[in-house]
Amino acid sequence: MENMAEEELLPLEKEEGAQVGVPTSAPASARVSDSAPEPAPTPASAPAPALARAQTPTLSPSLASAPEEAESKRHISIQRQLADLEKLAFVTEGDFDSTSSLNSDNLDAGNKQACPLCPKEKFRACNSHKLRRHLQNLHWKVSVEYEGFRMCICHLPCRPVKPNIIGEQISSKMGAHYHCIICSATITRRTDMLGHVRRHVNKGETKSRYIVVSTTKPSNEILKEADTDVQVCPNYSIPQKTDSYFNPKMKLNRQLIFCTLAALAEERKPLECLDAFGATGIMGLQWAKHLGNAVKVTINDMNENSVTLIQKNCHLNKLKVVVDSKEKEGGDCLGEEEQNLGNIKVTKMDANVLMHLRSFDFIHLDPFGTSVNYLDSAFRNIRNLGIVSVTSTDISSLYAKAQHVARRHYGCNIVRTEYYKELAARIVVAAVARAAARCNKGIEVLFAVALEHFVLVVVRVLRGPTSADETAKKIQYLIHCQWCEERIFQKDGNMVEENPYRQLPCNCHGTMPGKTAIELGPLWSSSLFNTGFLKRMLFESLHHGVDDIQTLIKTLIFESECTLQSQFSTQTPSNVKKQEENDVFIKTTDTTTEHLQGKRKSHEVITNLAKKQKSDVSTEHPPFYYNIHRHSIKGMNMPKLKKFLCYLSQAGFRVSRTHFDPMGVRTDAPLLQFKSILLQYSTPTYTGGQSEGYVQSSPENSVADKVE
């Protein structure tokens, strides 16, 4: 029967021999597809079977008899029975006479058999009973079953593995993996392989569409964002499968940082900017392409492939690249308009080392995960009145899903609250403030944004131990009530308070048994927004045509002033212009600010700017916010959010919406007053068809009793 199967297989191999790729590093025993001896070939036809044999190593003998299964080109690790897997390694004495088996591996092995799924360095040729035990215990025992087939674990070098740098030597391990029977994917873990097959079944993909992986690399895709072309690698949105990670969902983050840099560029020119983790280099390319000679961009990355990709993207956008002080032009011939674009310096080193060696005016940190490991070196050489922007994507720890990780990275104790996003922003700002204070520097928070995928904090650096001391005083602990979620920052002082529950406006500790509050922090207790800088960012977004973030910046402006949009629009244009002129840096369309011709401004100008900063301290917005759904009253229909904001404003409280929560209300009203006004303007559920109006007035004591 084996001879008949072999005779049927040979014509098929001749036809498909040119289509099937041969992995160059596969063992010689994996190239033999059966064990039966062949008849003596004629001189004219002798080379044909040998060539066909050498070109079809991935076709298993159990699948060769069926034409439909042979067309699927499944990997040799996918078999029906253990005996079929043993046949791949069986070599008889007659095969040594054929031209297809004359190689050094078989001659050295003699009558011994080698494992078809392991390289020679991992498993040497041995006797049949040892090979059977090896296949049974290592490959067949941990296989994944699907429709009568077994996907055995494979140790062949058919899955690329990233090299590990050990000292000065580079070692690359060939990891074990599974080959999917439905697609051409290779999965390392068995549990992941089970989930991978289950997803195929859920999608209805049960027919095999296996494609042999070709040795040629797939062509890179070119994406366009903000008039900037960027070349990305395959699987660019999956950080586990690529070195150069590109996330399209972070477009809002990149636009915010661009407007921040554009506003800073109006203060002094030229700016030395650093993108510490370039990946594809999209952010630095946007800076250099749209701001021109106003910035000197440095893009850094530790990975060699990412550095090469960044250089290609610079050439793609016709920008000049400086690598190791050697200038490489991005094109063969550059026009007059293209030569006006800024230069880009591409470096390959650790981000901490680079920030220790050089000083910058603007530093952006966007590592994969937390950024606390790079804050000390970022504040070491940052220039006075420079800007540091930090993007943290470890939202599982910041949003209190992994509290132990937040305690390990940020030294902060947190729980899940209704204002968890602002809590995350204040945690990051506190970590940034502590890192700046260790370098005798203070910070001024320009804005802090916490969205679904990231937390972005942008701060201005103020040199001097006095600024560092003032910054350190703004890091405090928060007392949070677990019952009503009322919160308040602890009062300053070194004395231990006998009853810290008295600081809370609520009376939950008196009415509830046991401990009702928890101490969170340390957190940043001061303002999170600078109104004047946000207005300049809004102007720059209009100037450069960045439309996606204009709504967000307007929300941040209203939130920083804690005013409603209707109240803001009633102000006269002269008042708005006066506010902008009283800001730290003047920005108008008619006049231009004083720019520095060299690298640094004079000491007198910096002193005047610092004085303007201190004189322009406005009333800070109230910390945190309340969710209107969280404090809704059972059996009552709440008023619309816009109307409720007007009701709070009419009651004499400062109120605004917040970008942290679409149903959040930022106000300085205590929670008791917040609930009483919400109850006053709510209607019973059974009168849902009627319009919203006043409920029968009652004394404040009875309203408070109803709320409690």
For the segment 641-659, the average pLDDT, to the nearest whole number, is 92
pLDDT value at 33 more than 80: no
Inter-CA distances, 123 with 60, 89, 655, Å: 21, 12, 72
Which amino acid is present at 634?
K
**Residue type at 409?**
H
Average pLDDT over every residue of 455-478:
94
For residue 153, which phi and psi values (nearest 5 degrees)? Answer: -75, 140
**Does pLDDT of 574 surpass 50?**
no
- Using 50, 70 and 90 to split pLDDT, how confident is the model at 647? very high
Rounded Cα distance between 197 and 206, Å, is 9
Q: Which two three-digit tokens encode residue 538?
A: 């809004």
- Going by DSSP bridges, is the β-strand pair 169-171/164-166 parallel, antiparallel, or unpaired? antiparallel
pLDDT digits (tens, 9 = 90+) for 290-326: 998 899 999 999 988 889 889 988 988 888 888 754 4
Question: pLDDT confidence of 610, banded at 50, 70, 90?
Answer: very low
Q: For the chain, give me the number of helices (H) and strands (E)?
A: 26, 26
Question: Contact at 8 Å (CB) between 287 and 360?
Answer: no
Find the mean pLDDT for residues 156-161.
70
What's the average model confidence in pLDDT over 568-582?
38
Instruction: Tell me the C-alpha distance between 664 and 674, whole Å.
Output: 12
pLDDT of residue 339: 42
pLDDT band at 206 (very low <50, low <70, confident <90, very high): confident
What letter represents residue 642's amino acid? K
Q: What is the pLDDT of residue 125?
A: 82
pLDDT band at 205 (very low <50, low <70, confident <90, very high): confident
Portion of the chain with pLDDT greater than 90, in percent = 33
User: Angle 223-260-621 (CA atoms, 0-180°, nearest 5)?
Assistant: 125
- pLDDT the model gives residue 505: 85
Sign of the torsion formed by the C-alpha atoms of 612, 434, 376 and 373: negative
If phi over 0 gives left and psi between -120 and 50 gives alpha, with beta otherwise, what is residue 511? alpha
Cα distance between residue 455 and residue 435, in whole Å: 18
- What's at 629, amino acid-wise? H
Name the pLDDT band for 698 (thresholds 50, 70, 90).
Answer: very low
Among 68-72, 118-122, 618-622, where is mean pLDDT lowest? Answer: 68-72
For residue 687, name the pLDDT band (cuts at 50, 70, 90).
low
Flag whether pLDDT at 397 surpasses 90: yes
Token digits for 705? 């009793």
Q: Which position has the higher pLDDT, 511 or 324? A: 511
297 φ, ψ to 5°? -95, 135
Distance CA 669, CA 649 (A): 10
Which of 599-602's residues contact partners 24+ apart within 8 Å by CB, and which partners? 599/270, 599/272, 600/268, 600/383, 601/268
% of residues, the chain, pLDDT over 70 = 68
Angle between helices 2-16 and 47-54 (to 10 degrees): 80
Q: Helix crossing, 420-438 with 403-410: angle to 10°?
A: 20
pLDDT of residue 277: 92
How confident is the model over 625-646, as a mean pLDDT? Answer: 89
> Omega into 670 within 30° of 0, i.e. cis?
no
CA atoms within 13 A on the CB side of 182: 19
- Cα angle: 452, vertex 456, 460; to 5 degrees: 165
Between 159 and 354, where is the model more confident? Answer: 354
- What are the DSSP calls for 66-105, one per residue? SHHHHHT---TTEESSHHHHHHTT---GGGGGSGGG-SHH
What is the average per-residue pLDDT within 51-58?
36
Q: Report pLDDT for 611.
A: 45
* pLDDT for position 188: 86
At residue 373 the predicted structure's pLDDT band, cuts being 50, 70 and 90, is very high
One-letter-per-residue 3-state SS of 296-330:
EEEEECCCHHHHHHHHHHHHHCCCCEEECCEEECC
Residue 209: the pLDDT is 55
Judged by DSSP in three states, 146 sits in strand
Q: Which of 163-167, 643-647, 703-707 has the lowest mean pLDDT?
A: 703-707
